[in-house]
Chain A
Amino acid sequence: MSLNNDSSNEKNLVLALIAGEEDAYRRIINTYRKPVLRLCNGFTGSSEDAEDLAQDIFIEVFNSINKFKARSSLSTWIYRIAVNKSLNYIRDRKKRKYEMYSPSGDMDNDSHQADSPDYRLMQKDHAYALHNAIDSLPAAQRTAFILNKYDDLKYAEIAEIMNTSISSVESLLFRAKRNLQKRLHDYYRKNLK
Chain B
Amino acid sequence: MDCEKVHKDLIFYIEGSLDEETMRSVEDHLSSCSSCAGFADMLRTSLDIIEKEKKIPEDREFTDKVIAGISEERKTGKVTPLVAILRYVAAAAVIIFGVFTGMNIAKVVSGTGDNVTGAMDDEVYIINDLYQEPIESFFLLKYKDDE
Known: A66-B84, A184-B43. 7 other contacts (CB 8 A): A18-B81, A22-B67, A59-B73, A64-B81, A66-B81, A107-B53, A127-B46
Q: Could you name 18 residue pairs across A and B whose Cβ atoms are closer than 8 Å?
A: A19-B82, A20-B80, A20-B81, A25-B66, A26-B67, A38-B54, A41-B54, A55-B69, A58-B66, A66-B84, A105-B52, A107-B53, A110-B52, A127-B46, A130-B46, A130-B50, A181-B43, A192-B42
Cβ-based interface call for A144 (8 A)? no
Chain B, residues 59-88, CB within 8 Å of chain A (1/0): the string is: 100110111011001000010111011000
**Stretch touching chain B among A5-13, A28-36, A72-80, A83-91:** A28-36
- Cα A123 to Cα B49 in complex, Å, equals 8
Q: How many residues of A contact B (CB 8 A)?
A: 49
Q: Are B11 and A188 in contact (CB under 8 A)?
A: no
Question: Which residues of B from 6 to 55 have beta carbons under 8 Å from A?
Answer: 7-8, 10-12, 15, 39, 42-43, 45-50, 52-55
Min CB distance, B56 to chain A, in Å?
5
Q: What 7 pairs across the A-B complex have the smallest Cβ distances?
A: A105-B55, A66-B81, A107-B52, A181-B11, A20-B80, A130-B46, A34-B56
